[in-house]
Amino acid sequence: MRRIIWLIAIVVVVLLVGSLVDRPNFDLTPANPAAGFDAQLHPPQAVSDALHKSCYNCHSTQGEIPWYAHVWPASVLVQNDIRQGRTYMDLSNWSNLSPEMSRIRLIDSCRMMKEAKMPPAIYRPLHPGAAQSAQEADAFCAWVNTQAANPAIAALR
C-alpha cells in the first residue's frame, strides 16, 4: 500500500513540475476574418454552428483550448493534434486553398463525418458535445453537394 501512495505522489509531483515547465504554444493569433471558412463559402447557420462545435478547436485558430492542454504531458499531445489538424484543414485560412483543394476538403470532410471518424474517438469522451449528430452530418453533406454552384468550386467540374 505504501508503494502505491509513493507512486501516486511521484506522478503528481512530475505532473505539477511538468505543468510549470511546459508553456505550450497553440498559435491562437487572430486570423483574417475574410480568409476564414465562413467568409469564403457562406455556409448556412446550422452548418456553420455544427462546424464551430465539432471542428474549430483543432482545425482553426479560433478554438477553445481546454485546461488540461496546459499540463504536461497532455499539452504535448494536444499541440500535436492541433498541428496535424491545421496542416490537413485550417478553417481560419480557407482562402489559402485552391478551388480544387477546397472541393477535396469539403468532400473528404463529408465522408469523415458520415463515417464518424471526426472528431476522433479519443477526443469525444472529454468533449461529449463535439460529435456530430446524423442530422448535422446529413445537413453538412447536403450543403457540400450544393457547392457545385459556387463559382470558386464549380470551375473544377
Q: What is the mean pLDDT of the chain?
A: 82
Q: Would the pLDDT of 5 be above 80?
A: yes
- Axis-axis angle for helices 134-146, 45-54 (nearest 10): 120
CA dist., res. 81 & res. 123, Å (int): 10
For the chain, what percent of residues have pLDDT higher than 70? Answer: 83
The CB density around residue 40, as the number of other CB atoms within 10 Å, is 18
Tell me: the pLDDT tens digits for 112-140? 999 988 888 888 887 878 888 899 999 99
Nearest alpha-carbon partner for 113 in 55, 40, 46, 43: 55
- Region 33-44 average pLDDT: 88
Of the pLDDT bands very low, low, confident and very high (cuts 50, 70, 90), residue 25 is: low
Cα distances (Å, whole numbers) of residue 141 to 19, 66, 81, 115, 136: 41, 29, 24, 12, 9
66-96 confidence digits (pLDDT tens): 787 777 777 888 888 888 888 889 999 898 8
Sole residue written with cell 448556412: 44
pLDDT in the model for residue 141 = 92
Judge if the upstream peptide bond of residue 119 is cis by omega within 30 degrees of 0: yes
Per-residue pLDDT at 99 exceeds 70? yes
